[in-house]
Amino acid sequence: MFKKYSALLLILLLPLQLLAWGVVGHRAIGTIAEHHLSAKARREVAQLLGHETLALVSTFPDEIRSRPEFRYTSPWHYTEFEHLSGLAYAPYAKAVQALTEPNAYSALQQMMQQVKDPTKAKEDRAFALKFIVHLVGDIHQPMHASHAEDKGGNDIKVKFQGKDTNLHGLWDSGLIEYQGLTYLELARAYDHASSAQIRQWQHDAPITWLFESYQLSAPLYQEAAAQNNTFDFRYYPAHATLVEQRVLQAGIRLAGLLNELLG
């Protein structure tokens, strides 16, 4: 019980920019993924996580990243470049795959290998699974594939509905929390992908997910500059469809990835 409340307190104390999609968004992604798991993958998830769910473990990487023994995972949450904008898919993919420092893409590849390796200890595979759940969500948040020179928008101060925040925090948590829904309500509202969408999204490779976020971040920067970093009541409805799409895609693709790795 003490550990449960300690973890909750840690989440509440973390700054918004450390929680891509926030607690609500990440857990909604985990819930959507649970709805689309194969029977085999569902059994494997239960075997690795016990009584925990994909939704509840989705924030685990953010809960532990401030602990000294896990600080090495801090760069795992994003893939950003300095002054590298406007790339087409092929050069972008080449640039990401050429990175030598830890990042979200390389971390996801590492955790994918770890979770499906039967020679690994159960606790190591469970650790990998928790990170996969989280990293798939992070990769779908546009500001986690943006500019390193402004720390993914963390250094861009903005006002949203008269309140001070930053561009990264606004996309991490601000727009999700603005809706006032629980993660179960959010998942229920968003989980309506067609069969064709599910097939297409699950066919796309993780580098494609990242490239999508990279492309989406560019107009968000341009819009902030054009509006003097001040957003009113029109900002949320203008971006609500994009928020929904990225959360839904993350949940659907997470399920497809786990079906492949564990099913």
Structural domains in the chain, sorted by start: 2-77+89-262 (1.10.575.10)
Q: Are 206 and 108 in contact (CB under 8 A)?
A: yes
81, β-bridge pairs = 147
- pLDDT over 50 at 14, yes or no: no
Residue carrying structure tokens 């020679």 = 119
Kindly state the helix (H) or strand (E) to which residue 166 belongs, with its residue range: strand 163-166
- One-letter identity of residue 110: Q
Give the pair of three-digit tokens for residue 38.
């194969």
Give the pair of three-digit tokens for residue 253.
């693709």
User: What are 111-139's pLDDT values in tens digits?
Assistant: 999 999 999 999 999 999 999 999 999 99
Mean pLDDT computed over every residue of the chain: 92
User: What are 57-116's pLDDT values in tens digits?
Assistant: 999 999 999 999 999 999 999 999 988 889 999 999 999 999 999 999 999 999 999 999
Q: Are 81 and 148 in contact (CB under 8 A)?
A: yes
User: What are 220-239's pLDDT values in tens digits?
Assistant: 999 999 999 999 999 999 99
The pLDDT value given to residue 231 = 97
Give the pair of three-digit tokens for residue 181.
């829904």
45, β-bridge pairs = none
Which pTM value belongs to this model? 0.92
C-alpha radius of gyration, the chain, whole number: 18
The pLDDT value given to residue 13 = 40
